[in-house]
């Protein structure tokens, strides 16, 4: 109850900026009531219909940047972006801990006890598994390396037990549509958001007008995985986030001597995240280099809005343990487009091609030279592609070639 209240009050503070919170139902896996923070663009009765944007792992709604949302709305759509659970200003399941897959008890322990035990430390030594905010891991670099390795190597999926599933997160998305009285929507998802979008299309197909997937994958055991080098680069950033206190739940900061990160630490984290985004771009591609100054300002806005990364592990384990969707994907009969960058270091390009081959009549669009980002240089072309796919559901005819390049 406390987490739900916090989420609602947090969004009330930002209602002047068009952000609101809404109850989307009770999570089946945890029994926790979920509130999602969302923002809308365009007219509710827009001729093109409603577009629901679902962002990925550890990514708040603001990564669907304002210009992207406004540009899409200008094409005649009512656009909704929102924070997934455990991110931004939506509900955090703070009292639910990720546990080892072999654990015999459930994880409804209050994390306040964990913080009272002085588990968090900036030292290089790892706290015991019983004291760590990770549950199964500490905050040392090696712990994060182990976690990253489990996401790269096939067979490591059940290292940890998920608190909730991506199916639960898909129901959050449908619950948001219910709460806003939206019967059907064009579903757009990126990375983990693309996986959630797939599940919405598989299990809630009557609520979907069209499906657009960016930089995502099928969950097949044959899926392409990031290199260990990229996984370990992510692990380094995760280590930094944990050691600087950004993994302390916002609701517990300032209690029992656990102060939140300082403004200087937030600024330092912003620089760290800009470096990571540049790596994802990838910055080595001169045509699509990142404007670091603009990127830094956007990351600062995101961190000022919420610097709580305590829910990322819960999201990550849900993604890690997600089932192969191959069979369900073959049953999707919706206008579908898949966009994927040739230089994506996190979800390799081969995944997009594989995914397009699984969904009947799906269109595949190659983003030449693009990494794991919604690059501003291709914003208009990406939106053109999304809109063409959305229009198929209204026109009842093919609007895109089977394969193309941007």
* Cα–Cα distance, 96 to 165 (Å, whole number): 13
H-helix or E-strand containing 357?
A: helix 350-358
Which regions of 27-88 does DSSP assign to beta strands (E)?
33-41, 50-54, 78-82
Q: Which residues contact 106 (CB under 8 A, 6 or more apart)?
A: 99
Query: pTM of the entire structure?
Result: 0.88
pLDDT tens digit at each of 406 positions of the chain: 445 544 544 444 444 458 999 999 999 999 999 999 999 999 999 999 999 999 999 999 999 999 999 999 999 999 999 999 999 999 999 999 888 777 665 544 443 333 333 333 333 333 333 333 444 455 556 667 767 766 666 554 577 889 999 999 999 999 999 999 999 999 999 999 999 999 999 999 999 999 999 999 999 988 899 988 898 889 889 989 988 889 989 988 888 776 778 999 999 999 999 999 999 998 666 778 889 999 999 999 999 999 999 999 999 999 999 999 999 999 999 999 999 999 999 999 999 999 999 999 999 999 999 999 999 999 999 999 999 999 998 776 555 667 778 7
pLDDT at position 67, please?
97
Report d(CA 176, CA 251) in Å as an integer.
Answer: 24
Residue 186's H or E segment, with its range, is strand 185-190
What is the rounded CA–CA span in Å between residue 373 and residue 17?
A: 25
Q: Determine phi and psi for 91, rounding to 5 degrees.
A: -60, 130
Q: How far apart are CA 93 and CA 91, in angstroms?
A: 6
Domains of the chain: 2-91+164-219+324-405 (3.40.50.1820), 115-163+226-318 (no CATH)
Contact between residue 401 and residue 363 where contact means Cβ atoms under 8 Å apart: yes
- Distances in Å between the Cα of 3 and the Cα atoms of 28, 34, 96, 148, 311 are 17, 9, 12, 29, 12
């Amino acid at each position: 109850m406390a987490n739900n209240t916090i989420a609602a009050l947090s969004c009330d503070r930002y209602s002047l900026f068009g952000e609101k919170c809404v109850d989307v139902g009770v999570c089946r896996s945890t029994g926790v009531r979920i509130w999602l923070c969302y923002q809308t663009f365009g007219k509710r009765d827009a001729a093109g219909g409603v577009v629901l944007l679902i962002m990925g792992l550890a990514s708040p709604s603001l990564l669907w940047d304002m210009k992207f949302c406004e540009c899409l709305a200008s094409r005649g759509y009512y656009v909704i972006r929102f924070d997934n659970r455990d991110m931004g200003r939506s509900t955090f399941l703070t009292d639910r801990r990720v546990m080892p897959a072999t654990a015999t008890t459930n994880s409804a322990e209050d994390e306040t006890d964990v913080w009272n035990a002085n588990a968090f430390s900036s030292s290089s030594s790892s706290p015991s598994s019983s004291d760590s905010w990770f549950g199964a891991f500490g905050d040392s670099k090696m712990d994060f390396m182990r976690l990253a390795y489990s996401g790269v190597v096939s067979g490591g999926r059940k290292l940890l037990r998920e608190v909730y599933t991506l199916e639960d997160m898909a129901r959050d998305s449908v619950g948001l549509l219910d709460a806003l009285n939206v019967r059907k929507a064009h579903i757009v998802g990126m990375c983990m958001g693309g996986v959630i979008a797939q599940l919405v299309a598989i299990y809630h197909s009557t609520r979907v007008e069209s499906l657009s997937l960016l930089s995502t994958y099928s969950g097949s055991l044959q899926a392409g995985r990031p290199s260990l080098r990229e996984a370990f680069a992510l692990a380094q950033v995760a280590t930094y986030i944990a050691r600087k206190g950004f993994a302390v739940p916002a609701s517990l900061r300032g209690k029992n001597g656990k102060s939140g990160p300082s403004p200087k630490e937030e600024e330092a984290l912003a620089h760290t995240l800009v470096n990571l985004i540049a790596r994802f771009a990838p910055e080595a591609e001169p045509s699509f280099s990142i404007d670091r100054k603009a990127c830094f300002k956007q990351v600062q806005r995101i961190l000022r809005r919420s610097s709580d990364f305590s829910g990322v592990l819960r999201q990550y384990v849900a993604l890690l343990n997600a089932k192969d969707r191959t069979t369900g994907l073959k049953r999707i009969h919706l206008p579908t487009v898949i966009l994927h960058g040739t230089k994506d270091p996190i979800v390799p390009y081969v995944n997009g091609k594989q995914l397009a081959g699984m969904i009947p009549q799906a269109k595949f669009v190659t983003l030449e030279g693009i990494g794991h980002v919604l690059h501003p240089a291709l914003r208009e072309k990406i939106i053109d592609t999304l809109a063409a796919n959305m229009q198929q559901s209204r026109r009842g005819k093919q609007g895109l070639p089977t394969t193309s390049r941007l």
